[in-house]
Structures are given as C-alpha cells and as structure tokens.
C-alpha cells in the first residue's frame, strides 16, 4: 500500500485524542503528567513499541522512550519527539471542556501538543497495519517539562537526538 493511501479516520482519531485531552497534565503536577504518560505508554505498547520509562527529576514527571522493531536496529534512525505537559492547571476542563463543533475541536492541550503526539502515533499505527516499514529505526520520545524550557529533560533530548 502506498503510504499516501492510508485509511486515516478523523472521527476515530478525535475520539482517541479526546481521552488524552481529558487527562489533564500540567507541568508542575508530576503525578498528573505521569497519568498521561501511562495512557500514551499503553497505546505505544499496543502499537508494537518497546517502552522505557525514564524517571522524572527536579520535581517533574517521567518521560517515555518508545522504540519500534526494525530490520536494522543499530543504525541512526528517526526520532519523533513531543511533550505531554501543558500550561493548563488541573480543573481547566470544568471551564474549557473538550468539545467538537463540525470540523473543529477544543480542549486543554489539544493542539500543543497532545494532538500532534496523537497524530504521530496514529501514523505509526497506520504504517504498521499496512505493513509499510520505515527505512530507518523509529524512536518516540515524550517529555514532561517542555512548557518551562525542558530543564530536567534537556540531556535526555540531546542524547536521543545524537542517535
């Protein structure tokens, strides 16, 4: 199958993304960020990834590194990176609940960055379903402190990027 012909389903994707948006994950609430990392980790494992949880530091939440099986695992590869911390405090959903009107949707973190992360994961799932292999090994790194400049994850980000 040509990757341009993958059967993305916007409604199904938005339903899956809703779960992520409704998992509030403000930067300075490590347990909340870790709940979001739990959700993403489960979906990554179901998609075929091997997960490594990297313990948070400096009071921030954990990070998740996911690697997907590849025919040539020990060569430099592709790094998809995103963050799950948001600027929205817990209880933002009371005033700004997830909602959809036609082709638009709203909710805390839906664009930055949960929507992008979900779309990346869905692309990985679609490629796997279509038996389309990436030319290089694929690693996904989700971090927990981007909204404040990545003080606790910079070294992890740099190490992964160097690979």
Which of 43, 122, 146, 147 is flagged as catalytic? 146
Nearest to 33 by CA among 12, 13, 53: 53
Instruction: Report the pLDDT averaged over residues 129-154.
Output: 96
Residue 131: partners with Cβ closer than 8 Å, 6 or more residues away: 1
pLDDT of residue 1: 65
Catalytic residue status for 85: yes
Q: What is the largest CA-CA distance in the chain?
A: 48
Q: What is the pLDDT of residues 68-127, one digit of tens each?
A: 999 998 889 999 999 999 999 999 999 999 999 999 999 999 999 999 999 999 999 999
Question: Is residue 3's pLDDT more than 80?
Answer: no
Which of 85, 122, 145, 147 is flagged as catalytic? 85
72 with 64: CB under 8 angstroms?
Answer: no
CA angle 118, 159, 17 (to 5 degrees): 5
Distance, in Å, from the CA atom of 137 to the CA atom of 129, rounded to the nearest integer, reads 17
Distance, in Å, from the CA atom of 50 to the CA atom of 52, rounded to the nearest integer, reads 7
- Choice between 71 and 59, residue whose per-residue pLDDT is larger: 59
Catalytic residue status for 146: yes
């Amino acid at each position: 199958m040509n990757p341009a012909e993958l059967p993305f389903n916007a409604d199904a994707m938005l339903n899956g993304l809703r779960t992520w948006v409704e998992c509030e994950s403000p930067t300075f609430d490590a347990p909340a960020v870790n709940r979001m990392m739990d959700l993403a980790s489960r979906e990554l494992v179901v998609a075929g990834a091997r997960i490594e949880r990297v313990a948070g530091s400096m009071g921030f939440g954990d990070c998740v590194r996911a690697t997907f099986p590849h025919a040539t695992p020990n060569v430099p590869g592709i790094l998809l990176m995103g963050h799950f911390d948001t600027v929205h405090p817990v209880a933002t959903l009371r005033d700004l609940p997830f909602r959809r009107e036609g082709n638009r949707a709203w909710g805390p973190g839906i664009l930055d960055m949960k929507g992008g992360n979900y779309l990346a994961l869905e692309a990985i799932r679609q490629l796997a379903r279509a038996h389309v292999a990436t030319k290089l090994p694929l690693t996904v790194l989700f971090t927990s402190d981007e909204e404040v400049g990545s003080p606790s994850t910079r070294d992890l980000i740099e190490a992964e990027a160097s690979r």
